[in-house]
Structure 1
Amino acid sequence: MDKELLRVVIILIGMLVMIGMLLWHFFKSLRERREADDYFDDSEYDIGDEEFQVDEDEDELDLFPTESVVDGDGLLDEEEIKPTPKEPPKAAAAPKPSPNKTALPGLIEFSIVARADEGFNGEDLFEAFERVGLIYGSVKVFERIDKNRLVDFAVASMIDPGTFPDTHLDEFYCPGIVFYMQPREVDNPLAVFDDFMETIDTLAIELDGVVWDNQRQPLTAETIAQFRQMLAAR
């Protein structure tokens, strides 16, 4: 047989084999699809349309009724499903009110003004401050330090910038001294205020000065009582 004719015959045979395989796969897949359709026949699983109707006015995720909770054991026993009564929500325990320090004044400021025209001398101030237990601090004012090494209140000079010199005290004079207390920054504002007032009264006597309130008016017992009542009520 001629070589060219042999080559053509081989090619035709190969094509016929490929066509046959394709047809075999096609009919096989068609048969499997029909068997699957027969297995999942919709007529055997008749589901009413009413159960799965979605109310357009409801939320898009609310597809099934949620009024009752279905128990899995009830489904197995084919018993009637009854809505589970809902328990009333438990009231959350009210948090205990914490001390409201924001109701306290941010700053209490009283002063002692010298009766003498020359004011208070630096040496007299330092000696009097040491007797009442005030400490000269790093910012050059005197401070009351508690047992935790925290500042309860401070004493500054009326001369700007309010500091006291640490040298040449005999040459330093100021017309008065100012006491500062921050009730919101201390643990026991009322106790600190009582120490605050006792220190002021003692120094006013020793230095011969007049005690002023924050309005630069003579401090009265009524004003002190008002502050004590405010601090005790926090």
Structure 2
Amino acid sequence: MDKELLRVVIILIGMLVMIGMLLWHFFKSLRERRDADDYFDDTEYSDSLVDEFEVDEDDDEMDIFPIPDAVDGDGLLDDESINPVPRASAKADVVKEQPKTALPALIEFSLVARADEGFNGEDLFEAFERVGLEYGSVKVFERIDKNRLVDFAVASMIDPGTFPDTGLEDFYCPGIVFYMQPREVDKPLAVFDDFIETIDTLAVELDGVVWDNQRQPLTAETIAQFRQMLAR
């Protein structure tokens, strides 16, 4: 076969292949488009989806965010706008008092006796009297402020937590529990300092070990954390 004729035949075959591929891609895309149209025509949710995303002008969610008052363009050129007057001092701002709900609801520390028999009732009453605690109507000892309000209380570790008012020589308990409610007092930090001082004094007089709210030995770091919490 002549070389020139062979070249022509190869070119024609290549053109036919390209035309076939173009026709195949055309009919494939046409079929996919028809299938997509049939899907959206038949789906029963199409109308509801459109309705769901319609935005009512009155309920535009952007209304949730406050829009600042419009500013006159000429106002931006005022001297005060370019060089605003500095604020006098941060101290002049109104200082908001820490809300009571930000304070811990309860602080609970314990004093545990070193002796196996625990604390004796008579020793407890004498020690409580020396630090100014008063025996209350609910049979626990209390720190009473000048307004006759309770700053904190001391209960027995023996259920139900009360101290007897008779037979003290026969009463023993393994330890005592100190309760303070920071949200219920006027000056939580000052009351807490008195709370800690009272515990330390009784720990020496009664020979006991002070536990924190996790029933671990009370440390200076824990005390500092509570003071910082109450001072904020």
Structure 1 CA distance for aligned equivalents of residues 119 and 112 of structure 2: 9
SS of 2:142's equivalent in the other structure is strand
Structure 1 CA distance for aligned equivalents of residues 228 and 194 of structure 2: 15
SS of 2:227's equivalent in the other structure is helix
In structure 2, the residue matched to 1:155 is 154
In structure 2, the residue matched to 1:83 is none
Matched, 1:146 2:145: yes
Q: So what's the TM-score if we normalise by structure 2?
A: 0.59
Mapping of residues 117-132 of structure 1, within 5 Å: 117-132=116-131
In structure 2, the residue matched to 1:43 is none
Amino acid across the alignment from 1:222: E
Q: So what's the TM-score if we normalise by structure 1?
A: 0.59
Structure 2 CA distance for aligned equivalents of residues 116 and 196 of structure 1: 24
Amino acid across the alignment from 2:203: A
Structure 1 CA distance for aligned equivalents of residues 150 and 174 of structure 2: 25
Question: Unaligned regions of 5+ residues in structure 2, if any?
Answer: 1-92
Tell me which protein shows more helix as a share of its residues: 2
Mapping of residues 14-163 of structure 1, within 5 Å: 97-163=96-162
Structure 2 CA distance for aligned equivalents of residues 96 and 103 of structure 1: 16
Segments of 4+ moved more than 6 angstroms: none
Question: Unaligned regions of 5+ residues in structure 1, if any?
Answer: 1-93
- The aligned length equals 142
Structure 2 CA distance for aligned equivalents of residues 141 and 220 of structure 1: 26
Structure 2 CA distance for aligned equivalents of residues 190 and 117 of structure 1: 35
1:77-102 C-alpha deviation (Å, 9 max, x unpaired): xxxxxxxxxxxxxxxxx997343111
In structure 1, the residue matched to 2:192 is 193
1:66-122 C-alpha deviation (Å, 9 max, x unpaired): xxxxxxxxxxxxxxxxxxxxxxxxxxxx99734311110000000000000000000
Amino acid across the alignment from 1:227: F
Structure 1 CA distance for aligned equivalents of residues 218 and 203 of structure 2: 12
Amino acid across the alignment from 2:172: Y
Deviation at 1:139, TM superposition (A): 0.0
Amino acid across the alignment from 2:146: K
Q: Note the aligned Cα RMSD (angstroms).
A: 1.8
Amino acid across the alignment from 1:208: D
Matched, 1:175 2:178: no
Say which one has the larger Rg: 1
1:153-200 C-alpha deviation (Å, 9 max, x unpaired): 000000000000000000000000000000000000000000000000
Matched, 1:231 2:230: yes
SS of 1:153's equivalent in the other structure is strand
Structure 1 CA distance for aligned equivalents of residues 96 and 220 of structure 2: 32
